[in-house]
Structure 1
Amino acid sequence: MTTMALAEYAQQLTFEDLPPSVVDKAKYIILDTIGCALGGSQTELVRVIDTMIRQEGGHPICTLIGRSEKSSPAWCAFRNAAAVNALDFGDDNFYGHPGSTIVSTALAVAEEVEASGRAMIAAVVAAYDVVARVGEAVNPSPERFAQVWGVGTHQVFGAAVAASKLMRLQGDDFLHALGLAGVSAPLPSGLCWNFEARPLSWHKDSVHWPAWAGLTAARLARAGFIGPRAVLDGPHSFWIMSGSDHFEPDALTAGLGNDFKIMDSSFKPYPACRWSHAALDAVGIIMQKHPIDVSDIAAVDIETFHLLEDYQFMDYAPANLVDAEFSLPYPVAMALLRIPPGPDWYAPERMVDLEVRRLASLVRLHTTDEMNRLCREENLWAARAIITTHTGASYSAMVPVASGSPSNPLPEGALERKFRQASQAVLTPDQIEKLLARIKNLESEGTIAAVCELLRGAESGSREPA
């Protein structure tokens, strides 16, 4: 059975099995995810969740990133995953945002069971290997995608693998955890995010529910709860339950143990939907190459693929940060103004700033056959930007692959700069550097207790978050 093969692989993978390049990528994924959570912890979206968790109560076992309080492992995984995704700044692959779900779950369980840094790295890598293969195997046709799609649905397996591995589940217990996770996955709800009647739903990518469900599945299996044994096998398994019309079972095990899927994940240089990143790159290239004064800009034309038009990204006055993340004009205005990407993009005063609104109003969207073909045939989310000035000058740039992708990586040091930018509202400069050093040497940590202590901010001596 394919489900059993994945369970056995995930159980048996050790830190010593990982090439140095995979270890390095895993540590950067963990660093980037934690940085995004620190930045996201200050948003209203996460504050609402924090209020609910305080009302729920529970055992104070694990760290709520950026807060002095602790909570139960499942609620910490849920809340921290939401914090990672709050700014839409976390890593992604073609099928979703795996780090937000996987790393948040791994961090909560590793803290609970006092796992080593090496154990956490191995759990994260194994989780990526499973979740990316499931995403590829159940990816729907374009016709079905137009009817139903989701982001976090399959990521429940990543949470279940990370939690089960760190809990050291064996044999049938690990298999039952995967089965329970699969039948507890959130629905593919992308078409119910209020795209046609904003404001958008704050649950958006639904990366938090799979963290909660996957971790809970592992805990149930550890306690002896029996789950489905073949949730990924056959005509009635997860692929059709998830709403897909397409299943490639061979993708679930192809290259297992040699092709580490974590290497395919992209880092995001901008806190916005990945669909807009090529356009933001193109605008940035123009502004860097040419001495354009923003007061002289008459129009910004973006040529790109149809999904931004289909999902109504031309929101010129977004109501809140989530609407701004799924707007094209707003982040283009940020790029024109050269505002450093990070939480500051969504400061309340900036979102109503008249100059931001003026620049956003200059943006026009055009879908072209060229860009649609690249999207459809090559899975490229490409864009061309054309900036026209009042003097009649015109400047353009074309970006076929957004920066941060494996084929167009960020420059050296960019992820460290992103981490510092995202975390500075929560941690002191000294704490930021200490946390950076510990995560970059995570394999040397006997437990992750020191990392988690730094993540709390207030109790580690940083400024108390508002």
Structure 2
Amino acid sequence: MNTGRTPVAARTPVQEFARFAVRCRDRPLPAEVVADVTGRVLDVVGNCLAGHAEGGPAHAVLDAVRPWGGTPQAGVLGTADRLPAPSAALVNGTLAHTLDFDDTHLPSVLHPSASVVPAALAAAEETGASGARLAAAVAAGTEVCVRLGMASYLPDLRNSLFFEKGQHATSICGTLGAATAAALLYGLSEDGVAHALGVAASMGAGVLEANRTGGTVKRVHCGWAAHAGVSAAALARAGITGPPTVLEGRFGFFHAWLDGRYDAHALLDGLGSHWEALRTVYKPYPSNHFTHPAIDCALALRAAGLDPDDIVSAELGMPLPTLRTVAEPRAEKIRPRTPYHAKFSGPFTVATALLGGSGLGVGTADFTEETLTDPRRLALAAKVTCVADERAGDIFPRAFAAVLRVRTRSGALLEHRVDSSRGGPGSPLSHAELRAKFHDNATRLLTPGQAVRLADAVASLPTAPDTRALFTSAEGR
């Protein structure tokens, strides 16, 4: 008898993802997954509001999409704007990644929530979905995203092949994660979700040169991934189909991006029973995650009594694969061109932390036009040399590690080593710290009372009849 379902033995990876996703929607999620999703949404919403207060590229994206017009389907966090769902996802995804404050999955080293959550919010509002439907979509989309990222991690490289090739895994994999989430909220069947993934595989992109030498385009990567994911799901809903072998095929995703090298076991083993998404960690500092252990080291030395004016030289030891992002080219890193570029500088972030920082140690107030030209900060950054550290390299990318050695005027050599940065696997942020991060971010645009009400609305998502309260609570003052 033909049941209309592909036999299990013949299932392709994309069909397995689709089956898993539909089960997330149609069956109860584990309690720990629901709790994790609620935290992801809270973090993204806070990052979006702070990103809106920051201005810059996200405002430019909003200015670009407003004239596109179309049916108002979904809101833009921090505004009263209502746009077509793909456009809203584009703006909110850009906002989510604007400050480089978004969460990170290890060891794939990608930021899943900044693409998946904005796509899910847009599709959920368009369809009037319940909070439980939204949570299921975020959970499934995030898992698909990080599984694709995990498949790119090759032990012989000790790194993701995406990053070795200068590709932005966050936006490439995030497009498929976003499509998964949107497809579930659009009510697509297993075949429909598979088609959405097949379509989305032709839409993901992103190169990382902006991390090294500047440019604002990287902040749009997550927005474009969210936009493309929602668009792919809408196309699948309308009848556009994708190839069933879109991931593993001769001209498929893995061949196109990774030269056919990928870990098939990491892709699918334990799918539905082992949740890779739970290994995603939150950022305490609004900078590239590779800088976080360095910030921790600098803060620890300062807390121990180190006077930054007493420093003659400093050596920052980091994993070799991270040096290309936060240490090279040196001239660009000791004198960053823009506040955003400074977030990707080991020397600048170390100098910032040694001088005291803000927020939870280093905060958004430390990356401004004023701090960028602060003579004391720049002079201290110029004293920092970045080198490869074997121990940190052995740990990477299961955690972010670093060592900071400082020589003082008296000739003393001070050292502090961190094997897992704050917020990482060895030192995760508590719920109270996550809520404090949200409050700091949200109150850049909202009143304290509005921020509390919005946090409460996110906390109630699993039982909320719809998601509209998120946007009415987040329109700004």
Alignment TM-score, normalising by the size of structure 2: 0.88
**Structure 1 partner of 2:168:** 150
CA contact (8 A) 1:176 1:221 kept: yes
CA contact (8 A) 1:298 1:390 kept: yes
**Structure 2 partner of 1:117:** 131
5+ residue gaps, structure 2, are 1-10
Please identify, of 441-450 and 136-145, the stretch whose mean Cα deviation from structure 2 is larger.
136-145
CA contact (8 A) 1:62 1:111 kept: yes
Out of 45, 49, 56, the residue aligned to residue 44 of structure 1 is 56
**Structure 2 partner of 1:91:** 103
CA contact (8 A) 1:87 1:272 kept: yes
CA contact (8 A) 2:85 2:126 kept: yes
Say whether 1:163 aligns with 2:178.
Answer: no
Q: How does 1:427-438 map onto structure 2 within 5 Å?
A: 427-438=446-457
Deviation string, structure 1 residues 209-236 (Cα, Å, up to 9, x no partner): 2211111010011112222233124343
Say whether 1:423 aligns with 2:423.
Answer: no
SS of match in other structure, 1:298? strand
C-alpha deviation, 1:21, in angstroms: 1.8
Out of 366, 386, 389, the residue aligned to residue 365 of structure 1 is 386
**Equivalent-residue separation in structure 2 for 1:194 and 1:267 (angstroms):** 20
**Structure 1 partner of 2:271:** 256
One-letter identity of the residue aligned with 2:196: A
Q: How does 1:233-252 map onto structure 2 within 5 Å?
A: 233-252=248-267
SS of match in other structure, 2:416? strand
One-letter identity of the residue aligned with 1:114: G
Deviation string, structure 1 residues 26-68 (Cα, Å, up to 9, x no partner): 1111111111111112231212212212233333321112223
Q: How does 1:281-360 map onto structure 2 within 5 Å?
A: 281-288=296-303, 290-311=304-325, 312=328, 314=330, 315-336=333-354, 337-340=356-359, 341-360=362-381
Out of 34, 41, 58, the residue aligned to residue 30 of structure 1 is 41
One-letter identity of the residue aligned with 1:350: T
C-alpha deviation, 1:173, in angstroms: 1.8
Instruction: Call closer, same or farther: CA 1:405–1:286 in 2, change over 3 Å.
Output: same
Instruction: Call closer, same or farther: CA 1:342–1:119 in 2, change over 3 Å.
Output: farther
C-alpha deviation, 1:104, in angstroms: 0.7
Please identify, of 241-250 and 97-106, the stretch whose mean Cα deviation from structure 2 is larger.
241-250
C-alpha deviation, 1:120, in angstroms: 0.8
Instruction: Call closer, same or farther: CA 1:90–1:295 in 2, change over 3 Å.
Output: same
Out of 193, 196, 210, the residue aligned to residue 210 of structure 2 is 193
Please identify, of 71-80 and 312-321, the stretch whose mean Cα deviation from structure 2 is larger.
312-321
**Equivalent-residue separation in structure 2 for 1:82 and 1:335 (angstroms):** 27
**RMSD over equivalenced CA pairs, Å:** 2.2
Instruction: Call closer, same or farther: CA 1:68–1:356 in 2, change over 3 Å.
Output: farther
Instruction: Call closer, same or farther: CA 1:212–1:19 in 2, change over 3 Å.
Output: same
C-alpha deviation, 1:380, in angstroms: 4.2
Say whether 1:265 aligns with 2:283.
Answer: no
SS of match in other structure, 2:285? coil
C-alpha deviation, 1:296, in angstroms: 2.9
**Equivalent-residue separation in structure 1 for 2:385 and 2:263 (angstroms):** 39
One-letter identity of the residue aligned with 2:236: A
Deviation string, structure 1 residues 94-145 (Cα, Å, up to 9, x no partner): 3311000000101111111111111111111111221111222244663955
Instruction: Call closer, same or farther: CA 1:329–1:219 in 2, change over 3 Å.
Output: same
Deviation string, structure 1 residues 68-114 (Cα, Å, up to 9, x no partner): 32222111111111111111110011331100000010111111111
One-letter identity of the residue aligned with 1:342: G
One-letter identity of the residue aligned with 1:193: A
SS of match in other structure, 1:385? strand
SS of match in other structure, 2:405? strand
Instruction: Call closer, same or farther: CA 1:205–1:398 in 2, change over 3 Å.
Output: farther
5+ residue gaps, structure 1, are none
Deviation string, structure 1 residues 309-345 (Cα, Å, up to 9, x no partner): 3341641221213211111122222212232233322
Instruction: Call closer, same or farther: CA 1:222–1:274 in 2, change over 3 Å.
Output: same
CA contact (8 A) 2:340 2:367 kept: no
One-letter identity of the residue aligned with 1:3: V
**Structure 1 partner of 2:8:** none
**Equivalent-residue separation in structure 1 for 2:225 and 2:461 (angstroms):** 25
Instruction: Call closer, same or farther: CA 1:379–1:235 in 2, change over 3 Å.
Output: farther
**Structure 2 partner of 1:66:** 78
CA contact (8 A) 1:299 1:362 kept: yes
SS of match in other structure, 1:29? helix
**Equivalent-residue separation in structure 2 for 1:412 and 1:183 (angstroms):** 38
CA contact (8 A) 2:343 2:367 kept: no
C-alpha deviation, 1:16, in angstroms: 5.5
Say whether 1:108 aligns with 2:122.
Answer: yes
SS of match in other structure, 1:413? helix
SS of match in other structure, 1:397? strand
**Structure 2 partner of 1:406:** 425
Count of aligned pairs between the two proteins? 451
**Structure 1 partner of 2:147:** 133
Please identify, of 6-15 and 209-218, the stretch whose mean Cα deviation from structure 2 is larger.
6-15
**Equivalent-residue separation in structure 1 for 2:436 and 2:27 (angstroms):** 30
C-alpha deviation, 1:155, in angstroms: 1.5
CA contact (8 A) 1:15 1:118 kept: no
Please identify, of 6-15 and 99-108, the stretch whose mean Cα deviation from structure 2 is larger.
6-15
- Of all paired residues, the percent bearing the same amino acid is 28
CA contact (8 A) 1:374 1:380 kept: yes
Alignment TM-score, normalising by the size of structure 1: 0.90
**Structure 1 partner of 2:94:** 82
